[in-house]
Amino acid sequence: MSLDDKKEIENLRREIRRHDVLYYVEDQPEITDREYDRLLQKLIDREKEHSDEIPADSPTQRVGGKVSERFTGVAHKAAMLSLDNTYNLDEFRDFHNRVVKGLNKGKPEENQVAENDIEYVVELKIDGLGVTLTYENGLFVQGATRGDGRTGEDITANLRTIRSIPLNIPMEKEDFNFLEVRGEVYLDRTAFLKINEERKAGGQPEFANPRNAAAGSLRLLDPAITARRPLDIFVYSVGFMDHMPFKTHYEAMQKLKSLGLRINPRTVLCRNFEETFALIESWREKKQTLSYDVDGLVVKVNALGYQEKLGSTARHPRWAVAYKYEAEQVVTEVEDIICQVGRTGSITPVAVLRSVLVSGSTVSRATLHNEDEIKRKDVRVGDTVVIEKAGEVIPKVVRVANEAGKSRGQPFKMPQKCPECETKIFRPEGEVAWRCVNAACPAQVKERLLHFASRRAMDIDHLGPAVLDQLVDGGNVQHFSDLYTLKAEDLVELERLAEKSARNLIDSIEKSKSAGLTRVLHALGIRHVGQRAAAILAQKFHSMNELQEASFEDLEQVDEIGPIMAESLRAFLGQEANQQEIQRLAELGVVLIEECKEIGNRLRGKQFVLTGTLKDFSRDQAKEKILSLGGRVTSSVSSKTDYVVAGADPGSKRDKAEKLEVEILTEGQFKRLLAE
Ligand code: IVH
């Protein structure tokens, strides 16, 4: 193989691996599935020319995905393959032709399967996370993620929190004792929007789409948090059985349904290719009306005997294919290319566009991801470009589409300095992003302060972006501690801030001093230390002093605190500037101990329903109290409810509680329970 070929192939492998990590590990894909497929196909083609030199770790040699080290591994009984994609009638017809050819291979003329005699089942391709559910003698014994297709992660505890997964199924009358089914766990759009709203209010990064939110929720280490996310599942196939009594996939699905597993009601059996394609077309627009995201359809050969005969390649079954609708693309012009600075200092180039309507929303900016991407696409100011938007994915520039002969601007060059603070920026080895390392960079400072003040952190009311901009730009505030030295006089000078609001702001800042160690730890914005970790640390160490003295080993030994978090904490607390800042916060009266030591445990596993009006709490406050002690709040009463808290004018929930003999608490009893 020539040196150039070798280089090209290696580059392709590196690029695909990077996208694998973005997709499977970080849940932050940068490219569409179609683009990924193109890259992979290119690699497959190149490797074919040198087929004796394909290393076992080439992306073409594996099923896809990566197993995280946080959960116990589970070896799948049969590999969980992924699906090959088709995007139009021609590609879909090619798939069908391959099926016909595969089935007729080696068969005499008179026994050949007629092209129009193959039944297909058409299903929605739910955009969530693939899982397996194993039932032994009717009992749900294990659930796992797909992982790399051969080994997944044991997430049984988290899956048990999903209401639509039966913990028992009536298998006693069946002639099988072992059943492993596969399905997709997902979040519907309303639930996704709600979670993001909460994350935004809590200063946490929002999920890019429902799939990421579902994946994130399912792979949490604490099932109690998973339980609060309204995840759901559709089961779409049998993975493994000790005795397979079915002739067709459709029949198997009907059986699973009768056993109480949730099958998507839009699953349709088509008699032939024509019917199948007509059905596919009918979903193109209709899929928007569903309450959950689908990223296309799945078409499966119905007869299990045919499936067996067709078999699979290393990556895909030959008897099934995904049909995807391409993301909508439109043409517009690049008016400018700017660079944005994030909270951690990463610098992202963004194309400012002439506004256009794509997939129902107006787009005037599109991400260019990073320097390598801009170079690869050679996007310049003034260029005509194709942009696309797929579902919830951030709009992106696909390619330049200038008319022939159009004169062009200069190639884009990354700035050498941070666009906000003019510090020289640098690109760490092996990373794609340039970074501004100036911790005092106003863009970063503002983002950090916004997080510090957010509701789930120090909960400082009236400190929004407009006020913060002025405080930072005017030099009044740079560090968190500077907030605590602000005086009403400093604020009256700010634009658009009435005297009363200034007063309120000062009061909120004052009040936040007693927020407690959990909130402070969360507010400091230490990498990898979110709200839950902050609560665990505060509960364990009780004071900032003790935490500062903890070694890496002390930290790592704490339940749920892994090496990455421990490392990040040590790095943060070890920096002199941070130590000084903590010292200053203490001197200014910010409480750095945790008063409530038992946080998170006392009501663990207890399920509450609130009804009627409480005197001393709003619904949200009551709910927050329960959650902070480890309990759960649901909206309807069932046999699983432990307590119904009934305020004045309770509704039908109280009656239902009586009927089900669930304990009913008055407000007084509820308060005593909290204070116990
Ligand atoms: S069948 C070997 N059916 O899509 C066939 N998959 O790219 C395996 N998915 O990992 C999959 N809805 O998580 C199948 N109705 C459906 C599906 C579905 C969503 C996911 C699944 C799989 C991925 C395949």
Q: What is the mean pLDDT of residues 337-360?
A: 87
Residue 373: both structure tokens together: 């991407």
The finding on whether 123 has its CB within 6 A of some atom of ligand 1 is yes
Output the pLDDT for position 27: 52
Q: Whose CA is nearest to atom 21 of ligand 1?
A: 130
Any bridge partners for residue 397, and if so which? Answer: 387
Q: Is residue 235's pLDDT more than 90?
A: yes
Beta-carbon count within 10 A of 22 CB? 15
Residue 345: both structure tokens together: 């200092």
Atom of ligand 1 nearest to the CA of 317: 2
The finding on whether 312 has its CB within 6 A of some atom of ligand 1 is no
The finding on whether 64 has its CB within 6 A of some atom of ligand 1 is no
The finding on whether 515 has its CB within 6 A of some atom of ligand 1 is no
Q: Whose CA is nearest to atom 12 of ligand 1?
A: 125
Q: Is residue 65's pLDDT more than 60?
A: no
Q: Which long-range contacts (CB under 8 A, 24 or more apart) does 301-304 make?
A: 301/99, 301/118, 301/119, 301/120, 301/249, 302/118, 302/119, 302/120, 302/121, 302/248, 302/249, 302/250, 302/269, 303/119, 303/247, 303/248, 303/249, 304/244, 304/246, 304/247, 304/248, 304/249, 304/252
Tens-digit pLDDT profile for residues 639-670: 889 999 999 888 888 988 998 889 999 999 99
**359 Cα: distance to centroid of ligand 1 (angstroms):** 25
Output the pLDDT for position 359: 67
The residue among 501 and 459 whose pLDDT is bigger is 459
**281 Cα: distance to centroid of ligand 1 (angstroms):** 20
Q: Is residue 310's pLDDT more than 70?
A: yes
Mutational test site, ligand 1, from 24, 66, 83, max ligand atoms within 8 Å of CB: 83
Length of the chain: 676
Q: Is residue 418's pLDDT more than 90?
A: yes
Q: Is residue 26's pLDDT more than 60?
A: no
Mutational test site, ligand 1, from 182, 185, 264, max ligand atoms within 8 Å of CB: 182
Q: Whose CA is nearest to atom 24 of ligand 1?
A: 82
Q: What is the mean pLDDT of residues 298-309?
A: 97
Tens-digit pLDDT profile for residues 433-483: 899 988 889 999 998 999 999 888 999 988 988 899 999 998 999 999 999
∠ CA 617-623-624 to the nearest 5 degrees? Answer: 95
**199 Cα: distance to centroid of ligand 1 (angstroms):** 29
- For residue 329, give the 3-state DSSP assignment: strand
Q: What is the mean pLDDT of residues 416-436?
A: 89
The finding on whether 83 has its CB within 6 A of some atom of ligand 1 is yes
Q: Letter for the amino acid at 572?
A: F
The H-assigned helical ranges of 329-474 are 371-377, 442-453, 465-473
**121 Cα: distance to centroid of ligand 1 (angstroms):** 13
Q: What percent of the chain has pLDDT over 70?
A: 94
Q: Is residue 600's pLDDT more than 80?
A: no
Give residue for tokens 């749900």.
140
Q: Is residue 582's pLDDT more than 50?
A: yes
Output the pLDDT for position 204: 66
Atom of ligand 1 nearest to the CA of 320: 5
Q: What is the mean pLDDT of residues 137-157?
A: 91
User: d(Cα 531, Cα 203) in Å, to the nearest integer?
Assistant: 10
The finding on whether 127 has its CB within 6 A of some atom of ligand 1 is no
Output the pLDDT for position 360: 60
Output the pLDDT for position 28: 64
Q: Find the range with the poorest average confidence among 59-73, 253-267, 281-295, 398-412.
A: 59-73
**Among all residues, which ones are annotated catalytic?**
125
Q: What is the mean pLDDT of residues 573-599?
A: 85
Any bridge partners for residue 363, and if so which? Answer: 356
User: d(Cα 414, Cα 350) in Å, to the nearest integer?
Assistant: 11
The finding on whether 82 has its CB within 6 A of some atom of ligand 1 is yes
Q: Find the range with the poorest average confidence among 138-152, 315-329, 340-354, 359-373.
A: 359-373
Residue 469 makes CB contacts below 8 A (sequence gap 6+) with: 446
Q: Is residue 573's pLDDT more than 60?
A: yes
Q: Which long-range contacts (CB under 8 A, 24 or more apart) does 103-111 make?
A: 103/306, 103/309, 103/310
**125 Cα: distance to centroid of ligand 1 (angstroms):** 6
Q: Is residue 24's pLDDT more than 60?
A: no
Which is nearest to 433 in space by CA: 528, 369, 340? Answer: 369
Band the pLDDT of 597: cuts 50, 70, 90: very low
Domains and CATH numbers, the chain: 3-53 (1.10.287.610), 85-323 (3.30.470.30), 329-400 (2.40.50.140), 437-598 (1.10.150.20), 607-675 (3.40.50.10190)
Output the pLDDT for position 67: 41
Output the pLDDT for position 482: 97
The residue among 305 and 69 whose pLDDT is bigger is 305
The finding on whether 81 has its CB within 6 A of some atom of ligand 1 is yes
Mean of the per-residue pLDDT values of the chain: 87
Q: Is residue 489's pLDDT more than 90?
A: no
Band the pLDDT of 68: cuts 50, 70, 90: very low
The finding on whether 249 has its CB within 6 A of some atom of ligand 1 is no
Output the pLDDT for position 66: 41
Q: Find the range with the poorest average confidence among 59-68, 193-202, 372-381, 514-523.
A: 59-68
DSSP conformation letters of 521-542:
HHHTT-TT--HHHHHHHHHHH-
Output the pLDDT for position 314: 81
Tens-digit pLDDT profile for residues 74-99: 999 999 999 999 988 999 999 999 99
Atom of ligand 1 nearest to the CA of 146: 10
Residue 635 makes CB contacts below 8 A (sequence gap 6+) with: 609
Q: What is the mean pLDDT of residues 489-513?
A: 87
* CB-based contact 611:653 (threshold 8 Å): yes
Q: Does the reported pTM lie above 0.95?
A: no
Output the pLDDT for position 589: 93
Q: What is the mean pLDDT of residues 411-416?
A: 95
Output the pLDDT for position 23: 65
Q: What is the mean pLDDT of residues 545-571?
A: 89
The residue among 443 and 65 whose pLDDT is bigger is 443
* CB-based contact 62:40 (threshold 8 Å): no
Q: Is residue 554's pLDDT more than 60?
A: yes
Band the pLDDT of 25: cuts 50, 70, 90: very low
Atom of ligand 1 nearest to the CA of 129: 13
Which is nearest to 435 in space by CA: 446, 449, 421, 447? Answer: 421
The residue among 47 and 70 whose pLDDT is bigger is 47
